[in-house]
Structure 1
Amino acid sequence: MAIPHAEYPDLRGRRILICRPEPEASRLAEQFGAAGAETRVLPLIERQPLPETPERRTVLLGLDEFAHVIAVSPFAARLLLDEIDTWWPQIPMGLQWYGVGAGTAAVLASHGLATHQPDAGWTSEALLALPTLARFEGERVLLAKGENGRELIRETLEARGARVTPLALYRRDRPRYAAGEIHAALDTFAPEAIITLSGETLNNLIALGANSSHNLYDRLLIVPADRVAKQARAAGFTTLCIPGSLADNDIVAAVALQFAGRDGGSGKAK
């Protein structure tokens, strides 16, 4: 449940490391700063649009042949809409649009598209629970995604009778940081909480921490879903939190309430 900004406990002096990609990382840092926290942005995923190919252009030119269009992330939704605008003066009628999570749905809705999204949850599993995706009789589904992402949506929908066309629009890379940058972010800054909102981000954090003397495993770790929480526990993290949603204000609220709970509401760590 979303928590109004005015109800945030005091985050003054708290140190928050944000490992989201840009521009989401800097936007979230502003929200934490407004609550009084000190922040350091260290994106652990870089997203690069993939070059256009004749095959991808052919798929998009046949957009009106699909019954459903799914975007797995806000970045995928923006890239998809940009390419559709290139080839279609007007988006074909009759398509059903879906966003994995409220942020993705908001990007599609900002383009004037009526968009399906889960009532609760922001994962692929939550999207797949929608009644309109429960059963197919050979309908075509366009899946806008990143390169080498999870295959759960495609595999599940194909098992339900859909003909799914994956459309890879971007790739994700792990940024390269100099030793001094890593030391500054993990050792000198010494974060009390770390924001890792994907399994890939978590893996990159673990790899980065292997070259640091800072013990990341006892920090408060913010993860997006149970799947990533299990991954974190298996790696040795001990203090995990899944926010009420991945909206910026809910992430800030979740961190603030975690600290308040630890401190008996005093706002300072025990």
Structure 2
Amino acid sequence: MLFLNTRPADRAAGLTQALQAAQVEVLELPLLELAPAPWSEALAQLYAQLDTVQAIVAVSPSAVHYGMAGLQRSGLPLHALAQVQWIAVGEATAQALQSYGVSSHVPEVETSEGMLDLPALHRLNASAGVAFWRGEGGRQFMMDSLRAKGMRILNFVLYRRQCPAQAAQILAANLARLQREPRYCMLISSEASWLNWLALTADHPELLNHAHILALGGRLSGLLDGCRQARQLTFSSIQLNDLRLESILQQIAPVQGTP
């Protein structure tokens, strides 16, 4: 069985190596790449207000690194944020923060819904300031939910997402193989990745029906269910609550035919 690792190229290697060590054949086909947002007066103004917030939500390791670079450029020292509660979407993001000496709260379920359930957020008062270090289009649901409670949101768009040019080339080179596969597995960890995959396979819709998709979180899983019903597709999907290797292996074992 073939597993499509759709993580961004700079984050795919660890998962690929771990899956290969577990005797899973892997094709790296990144469906997202990140490009930093240019420095702007709007970003400078956001950084100038950062020492007034009570929490900073970092949505990815890339958000951490781009955010810290912006912090340095703004001239605001990290120790000026000693009052801040840091919230990481998952363990990889928490590790990225830890590399800067920052401890963070991590949800059990690595989704916006999981972060909204964190006690650290529930303890904030209704008018608290919360900054989001994120990419273009990411975590809108979480921001809207907190804003509806009356919280002040600082929206740092630190990078943009795009479909890598090589994705179409990799698909073309492996198209015949995928068409022969009675079933392959793939990881979809964001709505943007899913939309890019739909666009890439638009001329080969039968490929969708061969897939067993691991979808990260309930909202994304529901999105795939809706798409399957609306388009009368027959791919299978299952919800992942995190991106830990053991979770991924557990879900692909039945498709692989292993106990």
Q: State the 1:230 CA deviation.
A: 2.1
Residue type matched to 1:175 in 2?
Answer: P
Q: C-alpha distance in 2, partners of 1:62/1:137?
A: 18
Residue type matched to 2:15 in 1?
Answer: L
Q: C-alpha distance in 1, partners of 2:119/2:238?
A: 29
Q: State the 1:52 CA deviation.
A: 0.6
Residue type matched to 1:218 in 2?
Answer: H
Which residue, 81, 84, 90 being the options, matches 1:95? 84
Task: Kindly indicate whether residue 116 of structure 2 is the aligned counterpart of residue 109 of structure 1.
Answer: no
Unaligned runs of 5+ in 2: none
Q: C-alpha distance in 1, partners of 2:241/2:126?
A: 35
Q: State the 1:163 CA deviation.
A: 0.6
Task: Kindly indicate whether residue 171 of structure 2 is the aligned counterpart of residue 182 of structure 1.
Answer: yes
Q: State the 1:253 CA deviation.
A: 3.8
Partner of 1:29: 16
Unaligned runs of 5+ in 1: 1-13, 266-270
Deviations 1:6-64 (A, max 9, x none): xxxxxxxx311111112112321111111122211111112101011122123223321
Change (3 A) 1:237 1:50: farther
Bigger fraction of residues in helix? 2
Deviations 1:172-215 (A, max 9, x none): 11223586532323432547111111122112112211223753
CA contact (8 A) 2:31 2:167 kept: no
CA contact (8 A) 1:84 1:91 kept: no
Partner of 1:241: 238
Number of aligned residues: 248
Partner of 1:259: 255
TM-score by length of 1: 0.82
Partner of 2:190: 198
Change (3 A) 1:66 1:185: same
Q: State the 1:91 CA deviation.
A: 2.7
CA RMSD in angstroms comes to: 2.3
Q: Secondary structure at the match of 1:170?
A: strand
Partner of 2:51: 64
Change (3 A) 1:212 1:71: same
Q: State the 1:225 CA deviation.
A: 1.5
Change (3 A) 1:241 1:137: closer
Partner of 1:3: none
Q: State the 1:136 CA deviation.
A: 2.4
Q: C-alpha distance in 2, partners of 1:154/1:244?
A: 20
CA contact (8 A) 2:30 2:167 kept: no
Partner of 1:19: 6
Q: Secondary structure at the match of 1:222?
A: strand
Residue type matched to 1:103 in 2?
Answer: A
TM-score by length of 2: 0.86
CA contact (8 A) 2:130 2:152 kept: yes
Residue type matched to 1:181 in 2?
Answer: I
Q: C-alpha distance in 1, partners of 2:104/2:248?
A: 24
Q: Secondary structure at the match of 2:219?
A: helix
Deviating more after overlay: 223-232 vs 163-172: 223-232
Which residue, 210, 227, 231 being the options, matches 2:219? 227
Q: C-alpha distance in 1, partners of 2:167/2:59?
A: 31
Q: C-alpha distance in 2, partners of 1:178/1:116?
A: 34
Residue type matched to 1:96 in 2?
Answer: Q
